Chains A and B, each alone.
Chain A
Amino acid sequence: MSLFEDLKLNVEQGKKEAVLALVAQALDQGHSAQQILQQGLIAAMDIVGAKMEQEEMFIPEVLRAAKTMEAGLEILKPLLGVGDMQVSGKVVMGTVKGDLHDIGKNLVAMLLSSAGFEVIDLGINVAPAVFAQKAEETGADFLGMSALLTTTMPMMAATIEELEKAGLRGRVRVLIGGAPVTQAYADQIGADGYASDAGAAIKVAKELGALVA
């Protein structure tokens, strides 16, 4: 098996020690950090993502693979140039005001960060003004909102208004989700993207990212 095949397999299986060793070995052999990131770590997570969609992996295994990938990335970070770093984007994420459901939001946040996004998780019960303020402070590219209650969905619209007021709407792509949320609702309130599960959330975020870039 080639070095990169080995690396991908170990990321997929969540073997952190092996991944750290293989990343070091790849660097020793003269591969660039950029190449290891793209052909090793990110390629591995693409496989994981596909397997998740095919329902071939348990969610905790996916999360472990993601953690392992991040550990490998830590070694590479100092070696990556600003351009190479290629973080997919900065996401401010949270469950809307009045809503305490966070399992789905946490899942999406974890997978986004494994897909190379930098995630700032504001937790639950997040007011529109707080979303806007944090998006401003952090210079976020994305705002991800989760709502699990029909009663709290209007908070999403309120938050978008808040972004507009703060003059951030042009810069921040808004992504929404949660059981009662639909594409139609996203269109209605003028959100940029909607996804029905974590796998789809990453795809949508990447697509929107590509549009921005």
Chain B
Amino acid sequence: MSDVAPFTPAVRLSHLGDDVKTRIFEAALRVLADVGASVQHDEAVRLLQKAGCSLDSDGLVRVPRPAVERALSSAPNAFTLYDRDGAAAMELGGHNVYFGTGSDLMWQYDPHTGEHRPSRLDDIARVARVCEALPNMDFVMSGAYPTELDPRGVYAVTFLTMMRNCTKPLVIVAESEIDLGVIIDVAADVRGGRDQLRERPYFLAYVEPVSPLSHPAESVAKLLLCADAGVPVAYVPAPLLGATSPVSSAGHVVQGMAECLLGLVLHQHRAPGAPFMFGVNQGTLDMVSGQPSYAAVEGFMNYLTVVEMAKWLGLPNWGISGCTDSQAIDAQLGLEVGELTLLSMLLGSNLNHDVGFMGFGLTGALEEIVITDEFVSMNKKLLSGIPVQDEDLAVNVIAEVGPKGHYLRHPHTRRYLRKGPGQWRPRLLNRDNRDRWVECGGLDLREKARRKVQAILESEGPPTLDPVLLALAEERVAALKASPKVGSPS
């Protein structure tokens, strides 16, 4: 069962003044109203026109300020995701911080052999199992793309696999509104109906427009379907700094916001008050290697700004954590994962995906998920703040011990440790002296993480799904695969 108490950092990072945030927002409004965007979906264009936007002779849609303001005022500033059993699990909004994996990695470091090999369906099951067991992973994204399967209906199969292997809320990717429709049907079966699903959403859909300023038919269709079904949706562009967005940090954010906010206008016009998640992915094209970095410091800078803008607009935000550009489970991984995780937490970024991502969003490793979990745990302590009641200031305790004494046996020490804030215990990080460490095998973090992964995989999985539901879900997915509407030849 999911942990309901949300984590909200007491120590926070914010670096932009109101004046700066106003300028960024105004600039995004200018892009929306003056530059416009390409919206490749007729019904969506008509809806946008009804919302006060214009379709101009150059074929671009332009969005005026009042339309954006109306959408901002109807959009909820928080919404809840529920777990498989229907219990509230994530209250997305404010400074609540949650973590989970990313989707679709096409390579994996095999957890048993360490071999770098193409991802498979059983990797998705393992990702879900590992997340289920980790207290600081709050939601699950596929973490892998099943390369051995026929691509037809693959995201519905993925959804089913996640659902079977964990009870935590899911974040999903779909190819089009067709497979998304099936995923919604399955989730509604789990809940006992469409209305129940609307009331207690089981998953959030991750939908992306194409930077710069292009809203393809499939993306828009998925967005509208989510609005209609009351399924929470993150409509989040991924502009790559200097390739599909201006190279300047502020320019990246301005364009990304304009792309996301167009989605908001459309979504809120279709279903005012429906749950919508704001965000701009922080990608950076490395201008020498040509790789899309997930951990470039410039990307981190954009991230800081985007999350602050989300808070300022009063929208729940989509964030990123637990990923690295490293190709190995090494110190670079630790460093990048640690920094990004801490940033997300300091910012109060709401839903942080991509835990377990390595090598530019192409490779996954379960060890990285376990390591990130440890970092999150540690930083939850760090950012919980320092209590300063008399008991904490402890003047009388200092007086009692006096010069040259010690606190090891003072009742205050024990009370604090047992009944008070205690002391954070690492599960993976070393706290052993050299002899003992050597005695225990001289394991480094990578090996300890690997063993923890093994232990989780060997332990009992989550409660199984009702067989009737499962059969129904499998039927729906089979029908999807057979449908002439789902594309690609095999």
CB–CB under 8 A between A and B in the complex? yes
Binding site for B on A (CB under 8 A): 55-60, 97-98, 100, 103-104, 107, 150-152, 154-155, 158, 179-180, 197-198
Which residues in B have their C-beta under 8 angstroms from that of A59? 285, 287-288, 290
Which residues in B have their C-beta under 8 angstroms from that of A56? 288
* Given contact pairs A150-B151, A152-B488, A179-B106, A60 touches B290 in the complex (Cβ within 8 A): no
User: Interface residues of B: mostly helix, strand, loop or mixed?
Assistant: loop
Contact B287 A155 (CB under 8 A): no
User: Other than the known A58-B288, A59-B287, what 5 A-B pairs have Cβ atoms closer than 8 Å?
Assistant: A103-B240, A107-B290, A150-B106, A150-B151, A179-B362
Which residues in A have their C-beta under 8 angstroms from that of B487? 97-98
Contact A150 B147 (CB under 8 A): yes
Which residues in A have their C-beta under 8 angstroms from that of B288? 55-59
Which residues in B have their C-beta under 8 angstroms from that of A198? 290
Quick check: is B396 within 8 A (CB to CB) of the other chain?
Answer: no
Q: How far is the CA of A152 from the CA of B151 in the complex (A)?
A: 8
Closest Cβ of chain A: how far from B455's Cβ, in Å? 31
Interface centre among B147, B175, B290 (most CB of A within 10 A): B290
Interface residues on B, range: 20 to 34
Contact A154 B489 (CB under 8 A): yes
Q: Quick one: CB contact mask for B196-226 with A, threshold 8 Å, 1 for yes?
A: 0000000000000010000010000000000
Which residues in A have their C-beta under 8 angstroms from that of B292? 103
8 A–B pairs (Cβ distance < 8 Å), ordered by A: A58-B288, A59-B290, A60-B242, A100-B216, A150-B106, A151-B175, A154-B490, A198-B290
Closest Cβ of chain A: how far from B271's Cβ, in Å? 25
Task: Considering the complex, give the chain A residue whose CB is closest to the CB of B149.
Answer: A150
Which residues in B have their C-beta under 8 angstroms from that of A97? 487-488
Contact A100 B287 (CB under 8 A): no
Contact B210 A100 (CB under 8 A): yes
Quick check: is B244 within 8 A (CB to CB) of the other chain?
Answer: yes
Q: How far is the CA of A179 from the CA of B106 in the complex (A)?
A: 9
* Given contact pairs A60-B242, A154-B489, A154-B490, A55 touches B362 in the complex (Cβ within 8 A): no
Closest Cβ of chain B: how far from A39's Cβ, in Å? 28
Which residues in B have their C-beta under 8 angstroms from that of A197? 289-290
Quick check: is B243 within 8 A (CB to CB) of the other chain?
Answer: yes
Contact B145 A103 (CB under 8 A): no
Q: How far is the CA of A56 from the CA of B288 in the complex (A)?
A: 7
Task: Considering the complex, give the chain B residue whose CB is closest to the CB of A180.
Answer: B106
**241-270 of chain B: CB within 8 A of chain A:** 242-244
Q: How far is the CA of A115 from the CA of B104 in the complex (A)?
A: 34
Task: Considering the complex, give the chain A residue whose CB is closest to the CB of B488.
Answer: A154
Q: How far is the CA of A107 from the CA of B290 in the complex (A)?
A: 9
Closest Cβ of chain A: how far from B213's Cβ, in Å? 13
Quick check: is B480 within 8 A (CB to CB) of the other chain?
Answer: no
Quick check: is B340 within 8 A (CB to CB) of the other chain?
Answer: no
Which residues in B have their C-beta under 8 angstroms from that of A152? 151, 488
Closest Cβ of chain A: how far from B39's Cβ, in Å? 14
* Given contact pairs A179-B362, A180-B106, A103 touches B289 in the complex (Cβ within 8 A): no
* Given contact pairs A59-B285, A60-B242, A103-B244, A151 touches B290 in the complex (Cβ within 8 A): no
- Number of A-B residue pairs with CB-CB distance less than 8 Å in the complex they form: 52
Which residues in A have their C-beta under 8 angstroms from that of B489? 154-155, 158
Contact B243 A103 (CB under 8 A): yes
Which residues in A have their C-beta under 8 angstroms from that of B104? 150
Q: How far is the CA of A49 from the CA of B175 in the complex (A)?
A: 37
* Given contact pairs A151-B151, A179-B106, A98 touches B488 in the complex (Cβ within 8 A): yes
Q: Quick one: CB contact mask for B225-240 with A, threshold 8 Å, 1 for yes?
A: 0000000000000001
Which residues in B have their C-beta under 8 angstroms from that of A158? 489
Q: Quick one: CB contact mask for B132-157 with A, threshold 8 Å, 1 for yes?
A: 00000000000001010001001000
Task: Considering the complex, give the chain A residue whose CB is closest to the CB of B119.
Answer: A150
Which residues in A have their C-beta under 8 angstroms from that of B287? 58-60
Q: How far is the CA of A60 from the CA of B288 in the complex (A)?
A: 9
Task: Considering the complex, give the chain A residue whose CB is closest to the CB of B175.
Answer: A151
Which residues in A have their C-beta under 8 angstroms from that of B216? 100
Closest Cβ of chain A: how far from B240's Cβ, in Å? 6
Task: Considering the complex, give the chain A residue whose CB is closest to the CB of B209.
Answer: A100
Q: Quick one: CB contact mask for B291-323 with A, threshold 8 Å, 1 for yes?
A: 010000000000000000000000000000000
> Which listed residue (B242, B285, B488) contacts A151, Cβ 8 A?
B488
Closest Cβ of chain A: how far from B61's Cβ, in Å? 18
Task: Considering the complex, give the chain B residue whose CB is closest to the CB of A51.
Answer: B288
Q: How far is the CA of A180 from the CA of B362 in the complex (A)?
A: 8
Task: Considering the complex, give the chain B residue whose CB is closest to the CB of A60.
Answer: B287
Q: How far is the CA of A209 from the CA of B377 in the complex (A)?
A: 57
Q: How far is the CA of A154 from the CA of B106 in the complex (A)?
A: 15
Q: How far is the CA of A58 from the CA of B290 in the complex (A)?
A: 9
Which residues in A have their C-beta under 8 angstroms from that of B244? 103
Which residues in A have their C-beta under 8 angstroms from that of B145? 150
Q: How far is the CA of A56 from the CA of B287 in the complex (A)?
A: 10
Q: How far is the CA of A19 from the CA of B289 in the complex (A)?
A: 27
Task: Considering the complex, give the chain A residue whose CB is closest to the CB of B147.
Answer: A150
- Nearest first, the 5 closest Cβ-Cβ pairs linking A and B are A151-B151, A58-B287, A55-B288, A59-B287, A180-B106
Q: How far is the CA of A57 from the CA of B287 in the complex (A)?
A: 8
Q: How far is the CA of A123 from the CA of B285 in the complex (A)?
A: 20
Closest Cβ of chain B: how far from A63's Cβ, in Å? 10
Task: Considering the complex, give the chain A residue whose CB is closest to the CB of B244.
Answer: A103
Which residues in A have their C-beta under 8 angstroms from that of B151? 150-152, 154
Which residues in B have their C-beta under 8 angstroms from that of A57? 288
Q: Quick one: CB contact mask for B350-371 with A, threshold 8 Å, 1 for yes?
A: 0000000000101000000000
Q: How far is the CA of A104 from the CA of B362 in the complex (A)?
A: 15
Closest Cβ of chain A: how far from B150's Cβ, in Å? 9
Task: Considering the complex, give the chain A residue whose CB is closest to the CB of B487.
Answer: A98
Q: How far is the CA of A185 from the CA of B43 in the complex (A)?
A: 39
Interface centre among A55, A104, A150 (most CB of B within 10 A): A150
Which residues in B have their C-beta under 8 angstroms from that of A103? 240, 243-244, 285, 292
Q: How far is the CA of A18 from the CA of B285 in the complex (A)?
A: 30
Closest Cβ of chain B: how far from A55's Cβ, in Å? 5
Closest Cβ of chain B: how far from A124's Cβ, in Å? 8
Closest Cβ of chain B: how far from A126's Cβ, in Å? 14
Contact B289 A55 (CB under 8 A): yes
Q: How far is the CA of A74 from the CA of B461 in the complex (A)?
A: 67
Q: How far is the CA of A100 from the CA of B289 in the complex (A)?
A: 22
